[in-house]
């Protein structure tokens, strides 16, 4: 190798090394997803900026920094069950691990992670009908890889991007928006109804997922964690689109969950005809979220129905008979 080649190679390696040192240092100081418990407080809400980019990564770090024994899981319906209400009506041991657009695999993985990393007392798992389908996408392992490897986290492209957005916020007091704002409620409502029509005709029933859920319930039983599955309400406008096409799957979804776990079944809540009770046809408003939380904690049955399986899961290993019946009926 001639001297000139060695010289250029040395310069190139120095530049690459310098780049990673700068990136690592920048992200270490900003730490937009709060990987470090002793992260520097810059006087702004990191959650406000980080969550739109990667809610899973932010949640894992926040969960790791607290001593939580009660956890809410789910997608945006679970996220709507604000922690502040649980603190008001119960205690501050609650943590909301839910994140927007979560699918069933990500919800299941988040439950396993929380159970293995904290001594949990009880969990509330939100499983809407909309996520009760087989999926291959799972963003949880990727986020967990970043949490498990600080060098990978501090040199990650996404983390660098969010650090930049955080710095811009500090300098200009401006959050970079990552999503377009929705239109007015009526226009958005019509969009969701039209989309539900298409989704109903392309519905694929859950087969693999029911086995994963049964294993999860068995795991929670073995760990001694009290678990309740929350079946959130849909507005009747959506049900009117779903039921004529995939009503059989919808009823099996309710039956499977209520047969395999204690459930807070709000699918027939008295407000499912009320336009003002929802922000969109899939999401109940905050007033009803607070009422649902109060009902869950109190054990009352005014809005929802609390169901306990007639047959103990321990009496049927892995709940095999009910699982096979469910899959067979879906195949027909």
Domain that residue 167 falls in: 1-54+139-179
- Is the domain of 301 the same as that of 240? yes
Give the position of tokens 């095999």.
320
d(CA 220, CA 237): 35
Same domain, yes or no: 127 and 70 = yes
User: 73 and 112: one domain?
Assistant: yes
Query: How far apart, in whole angstroms, are the C-alpha atoms of residue 28 and residue 151?
Result: 10
Domain closes at, from 179, 202, 230: 179
Q: What is the pLDDT of residue 19?
A: 72
**Tens digit of each residue's pLDDT (9 = 90 or more) over 58-100:** 999 999 999 999 999 999 999 999 999 999 999 999 999 999 9
Highest mean pLDDT among 11-20, 129-138, 253-262 belongs to 253-262
pTM: 0.87
Q: What is the DSSP code (8-state) at residue 318?
A: G
| Whole-angstrom Cα Rg for the chain | 23
Task: Judge if 68 and 105 occupy the same domain.
Answer: yes
126 and 274 in a common domain: yes
The band of 260, judged by pLDDT with boundaries at 50, 70 and 90, is very high
In percent, how much of the chain has pLDDT > 90? Answer: 70
pLDDT in tens, 199-208: 888 787 778 8
CA distances from 19 to 12, 154, 168 (A): 11, 12, 20
Mean pLDDT of 7-17: 65
At residue 226, the pLDDT reads 97
pLDDT computed for residue 11 by the predictor: 61
Domain count, the chain: 2
Average pLDDT for residues 308-332, to the nearest whole number? 53
pLDDT band at 324 (very low <50, low <70, confident <90, very high): very low
Per-residue pLDDT of 140-196, as tens digits, reads 999 999 999 999 999 999 999 999 999 988 887 655 554 444 458 999 999 999 999
Q: What is the mean pLDDT of the chain?
A: 87
Which one is predicted more confidently, 37 or 171? 171
Q: Which residue has the higher pLDDT, 300 or 125?
A: 125
Q: Are residues 197 and 119 part of one domain?
A: yes
Last residue of a domain, one of 152, 179, 206: 179
Q: Please identify, among 149, 179, 209, the residue that sits at the C-terminal boundary of a domain.
A: 179
CATH classification of the domain holding 269: 3.40.50.1110
Does residue 130 sit in the same domain as residue 75?
Answer: yes
Looking at the structure, tell me whether residues 38 and 85 fall in a common domain: no
Helices in the chain by DSSP H: which ranges? 3-30, 46-50, 55-64, 76-79, 83-89, 104-117, 140-148, 150-154, 157-172, 185-201, 208-223, 236-260, 286-298, 320-331
CA–CA gap between residue 322 and residue 256 (Å, rounded): 8
Q: Are residues 107 and 229 in the same domain?
A: yes
Check whether residue 23 and residue 75 sit in a common domain. Answer: no
How does 177-190 read in b/e, with b if 16+ C-beta sit within 10 Å?
eeeeeeeeeeeebe
Q: Are residues 144 and 288 in the same domain?
A: no
Averaged pLDDT for residues 224-236: 97
pLDDT given at position 204: 76
- Greatest CA separation for the chain: 83
Same domain for 25 and 121? Answer: no
Q: What pLDDT, on the 0 to 100 scale, is given for residue 12?
A: 63
Average pLDDT on 316-327 reads: 48
């Amino acid at each position: 190798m001639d001297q000139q080649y060695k010289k250029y190679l040395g310069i190139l390696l120095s530049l690459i090394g310098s780049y990673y040192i700068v990136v690592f240092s920048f992200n270490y100081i900003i730490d937009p997803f709060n990987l470090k418990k002793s992260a520097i407080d810059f006087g702004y809400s990191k959650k406000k900026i980080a969550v739109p980019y990667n809610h899973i990564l932010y949640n894992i770090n926040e969960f790791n920094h607290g001593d939580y024994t009660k956890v809410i899981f789910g997608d945006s319906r679970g996220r709507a069950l604000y922690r502040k209400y649980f603190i008001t009506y119960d205690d501050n041991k609650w943590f909301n691990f839910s994140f927007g657009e979560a699918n069933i695999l990500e919800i299941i993985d988040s439950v396993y992670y929380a159970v293995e990393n904290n001594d949990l007392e009880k969990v509330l798992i939100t499983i809407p009908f909309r996520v009760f389908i087989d999926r291959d996408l799972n963003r949880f392992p990727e986020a967990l890889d970043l949490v498990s490897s600080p060098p990978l986290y501090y040199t990650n492209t996404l983390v660098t991007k969010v650090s930049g957005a955080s710095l811009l916020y500090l300098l200009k007091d401006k959050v970079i928006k990552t999503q377009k704002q929705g239109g007015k409620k009526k226009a958005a409502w019509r969009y969701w109804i039209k989309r539900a029509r298409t989704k109903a005709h392309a519905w694929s029933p859950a087969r693999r997922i029911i086995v994963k859920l049964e294993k999860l319930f068995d795991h929670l039983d073995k760990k001694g964690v009290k678990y309740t599955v929350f079946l959130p309400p849909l507005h009747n406008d959506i049900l009117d689109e779903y039921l004529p096409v995939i009503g059989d799957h919808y009823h099996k979804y309710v039956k499977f969950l209520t047969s395999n776990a204690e459930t807070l079944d709000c699918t027939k809540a008295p407000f499912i005809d009320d336009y003002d009770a929802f922000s969109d046809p899939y999401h109940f408003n905050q007033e009803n979220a607070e009422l649902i939380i109060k009902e869950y904690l109190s054990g009352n049955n005014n809005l929802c129905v609390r169901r306990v399986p007639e047959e103990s899961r321990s009496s049927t290993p892995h709940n095999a008979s009910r699982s096979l019946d469910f899959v067979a009926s879906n195949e027909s």
